[in-house]
Amino acid sequence: YDYKIEAVLEDLKEKAVGLGALYMSQEMDIEIDGTVARVNVPLEFNYSQHWLNTKAQLALDMLKYTELIEVLYVETYTEELVKPDSEEEEQSEAEESDESEPEDSEELEEPGEE
């Protein structure tokens, strides 16, 4: 294999974000407070088997290869997750009103009857 070192990461946050990107193939929202990393986990990761298998190794590598002494994973759930969007709410109301309207009498007739 041929490889080229494009940059050497010195900043603690860059190192943590780089390891996160290495494991999850996308940049993660990571906050650094001294020697503690706070990884804000996207909620879609809850559906990822890869994430479940990777998060412990990611934390261990952050501790091993950086100056970090603690890694916190934060999942944030808010009320907006359970509230329907206004578009969905309007569509649901429209469907409910369609269901409550009486059906046309022609649709109820048997074929051949008029």
Residue 28 included in any domain: yes
Domain that holds residue 10: 1-77
Residue 113 included in any domain: no
Residue 44 included in any domain: yes
Q: Find the range with the poorest average confidence among 23-32, 84-93, 97-106.
A: 97-106
Computed over every residue of the chain, the mean pLDDT equals: 86
Residue 95 included in any domain: no
Q: How many domains does the chain have?
A: 1
Tell me, yes or no, if the pTM score tops 0.85.
Answer: no
pLDDT tens sequence across 61-95: 999 999 999 999 999 999 988 888 766 666 666 67
**What string of H, E and C letters represents the secondary structure of the chain?**
CCCCCCCCCCCHHHHHHHHHHHHHCCCCEEEEECCEEEEECCHHHHHCHHHHHHHHHHHHHHHHHCCCCEEEEECCCCHHHCCCCHHHHHHHHHHHHHHHCCCCHHHHCCCCCC
Structure tokens at 30: 């990571």
72: domain CATH number? 3.30.70.2210
